[in-house]
Amino acid sequence: MASRKKIPKNARLPSAPLAEVVFELRWALHQGPAPGSIMNFDPMLIPLLHNFSAAMEEAKFSHSVDLAHPLQTGPYGVVRRYLKNPESPFPIMQVGAGIFATNESAQYEWKTYKAQILEGIKLLVNSYPTSFGFSLQPNYLELRYIDVFDKTVLRSSDFFRFTETGTSLKFNLPQFLENHQIFWGEAAGRFLFQRSLRGKKESLFRVELASAQSSATKENIVQLESKVTTAGVGVPVFRNTRSFVAEISKWLEFAHGVTSPFFKGFILPDVMTKFKRP
Amino acid sequence: MTTNYKTSISNFDITVGEPAVDSLGSGRQIPTESHSSKAAESAITREPRSTTSVLPDAVAANWGKISKARLTKQMYGNIVRVATQSRGMAPAVTAASLGNFLEFWMRIRNAAVEPEVVLAPDGTLYAEWYKSKHQRLDVRFTVNKAIFGLFAGSSILEGAERPETVANLLKQHAAKPLQWAAD
């Protein structure tokens, strides 16, 4: 496993819009009691939790939090989260009914995060019980970035002013919608883009830019979610740990090779400079 | 009709043009993709989403302030931990309280050590500087005010004022309470 840079406790948090990055791997579940049932389940979930928890302990993710009872968790629901210690909320490993995920926050750095993902996957596939007639069949991969922008870094979190001054995405609004005699306050908005990716079957790139408001603070923020997903035949088949981890490593570089240049081209340099200012 | 869309960072309602709540909601649905090549060109379909994003609402709502506050990794971890604590059905710390604490912190950080942060039962954030049982400062951050109690030896000073006023008062106090830390 690549070594993770040890960041001292008094190291400052990087100043950047990235709030969270999530990797997900999902696998096929056993069909529920009737065709089309929503009660699909993983018959290996309980022994998987036992094995994976022991593996997490060895990997120094020794603090765990149960979110739900494994028998009361629906398909792809997270059952347990693992932390290095209770004071450090990130990084996190998560496992549930047909799902593994690992998250990082502001201290994200690609090489370290990729190593974290591969370590988690290796421990997951080695923990998954075999010889019981139900095998691990991964069927979904996702690499997702969440960035948040508010008035602290931009003068306005009006959706269209943000896109105009902070991004390379431009809207040409009809004059009527900018008529101050008819409208007041900041405009909210939502932009959704989705397109198939070349290079990997059943792979999509999706961008979701949306404004949101807190009823408590009455402040608007703009959230950017960008992700690469691969499903079905595009997901590597699990045959053995070594080859599967190698294939996931290639997939991660493929996904990061889309999300990273997208972000650099989408958010204008002026916005990133404002994050750095004290 | 209001349609509740939610992005994965938080449980904000992305109800376009309408105010929303920042507490955990039910019935979350967002449009997600269908992966067949033909379907990708068609309308985006909905499916249940997983619960893998863990960043608390209040932290997401104040991300800009968190980025500018020059927090240490330890203090950020404490804030996220407090913001994740459960208060039954209610959200942990409120976004307003955390936001006020961060504004306060940005005003005092050059003259202060990092405090202990604690969640009060009503969802407001407490910051505490403690040196001894006779040298203690508590500041609680509500929606509009910072409510403080300062015990400095034999003197007691209490008040409720805007966070910036409290910040200036404490920075100038002769006992330097913002630099108190347990030995």
Task: Evaluate the omega torsion of the peptide bond into residue A91 and state whether it is cis, within 30 degrees of 0.
Answer: yes
Q: Is A11 on the interface with B (CB under 8 A)?
A: yes
pLDDT of residue A123: 98
* pLDDT grade for A254, boundaries at 50, 70 and 90: very high
Query: Is it the case that residue A277 has pLDDT exceeding 80?
Result: no
Q: Which long-range contacts (CB under 8 A, 24 or more apart) does A80-85 make?
A: A80/A49, A80/A53, A81/B54, A82/A53, A82/A56, A84/A60
Residue of A nearest to B21 (CA): A215
Residues in chain B with pLDDT values less than 50: 1-50
Of A17, A20, A149, the CB nearest to B55: A20
Q: CB neighbours (10 Å) of residue A102?
A: 26
Amino acid type, A231: A
Q: So what's the pLDDT on residue A5?
A: 44
| CA distance readout (Å), B31 to A231, B43, B138, B140 | 16, 9, 45, 40
Average pLDDT over chain A, rounded to an integer: 89
Tokens linked to A44: 């290996």
- Which chain B residues are within 8 Å of A7, Cβ to Cβ? 73
- Residue A22 at interface with chain B, using a CB cutoff of 8 Å: yes
Please indicate whether, in this complex, the C-beta atoms of B77 and A77 are within 8 angstroms of each other. Answer: no
Of A151, A194, A275, the CB nearest to B44: A194
Tokens of A214: 């807190």
Model confidence pLDDT, tens digit, residues A92-136: 999 999 999 999 998 899 999 999 999 999 999 999 998 778 889
| pLDDT score at A9 | 55
All residues of chain A having their beta carbon less than 8 Å from the beta carbon of residue B40 are: 194-196, 204
Contact B13, B25 (CB under 8 A): yes
A216: chain B residues, CB-CB within 8 Å: 22, 94-96, 143
Element (H, E) at B64: helix B63-68
Q: Do A13 and B71 touch (CB under 8 A)?
A: yes
Mean pLDDT (whole number) for A253-267: 96
Q: What angle do CA A29, A22, A262 make, to 5 degrees?
A: 120
A202: which chain B residues are within 8 Å (Cβ-Cβ)? 35-37
Query: Distance between CA atoms of A152 and A150, rounded to whole angstroms?
Result: 5
d(CA A85, CA A62): 7
CA of B155 vs chain A CAs: smallest distance (Å): 33
A146/B9 CB distance under 8 A = yes
Highest mean pLDDT among A9-18, A68-77, A134-143, B80-89: A134-143
Is residue B10 within 8 angstroms of chain A, CB to CB?
yes
Helix (H, G, I), strand (E, B) or coil at A168: coil
pLDDT at A48 over 90: yes
Locate the chain A residue with the closest alpha carbon to B86.
Answer: A67
Contacting residues for B114 by C-beta, under 8 A, at least 6 apart: B71, B72, B74, B75
Write down the ipTM of this complex: 0.82
Give residues 75 to 94 of B whose Cβ lies within 8 Å of A: 76-78, 80-81, 84, 94
pLDDT band at A56 (very low <50, low <70, confident <90, very high): very high
Alpha-carbon B157 to chain mean position: 26
In the structure encoding, which two tokens stand for residue B92, read together? Answer: 């942990």
Positive or negative, the Cα torsion across A269, A270, A271, A274?
positive
- Residue A67: both structure tokens together: 């979110």
Comparing C-alpha atoms, which of B95, B91, B92 is closest to residue B58? B95
pLDDT at A189 over 60: yes
Instruction: Please give, rounded to a whole number of angstroms, the shortest distance from the CA of A241 to a CA of chain B.
Output: 24
Stretch 100-139 of chain B: residues touching chain A, C-beta under 8 Å: none
- In this predicted structure, what is the pLDDT of residue A3? 37
Binary contact (A19, B84; C-beta < 8 A):
no
pTM over 0.90: no
CA distance A223 to chain B (A): 8
Residues A88 and A107: their CA atoms lie apart, in Å, by 12
Helix (H, G, I), strand (E, B) or coil at A197: coil
CB contact under 8 A, A20 and B66: no
* Averaged pLDDT for residues A47-52: 96
The answer to whether A217 contacts B99, with C-beta atoms less than 8 Å apart, is: yes
**Tokens, residue A100:** 């593994």
Give the pLDDT band of residue A241 (cuts 50, 70, 90): very high
Does the beta-carbon distance from A13 to B73 stay under 8 Å? yes
Residues of B in contact with A74 (CB under 8 A): 48
Q: List C-alpha distances in Å: A50 to A45, A124, A240.
A: 9, 11, 21
| Chain A residues with CB-CB distance to B21 below 8 A | 215
**Residue B177 Cα, gap to closest chain A Cα (Å):** 21
Give me the residues of A, 159-188, that contact B with CB < 8 A.
187-188
pLDDT of residue B24: 27
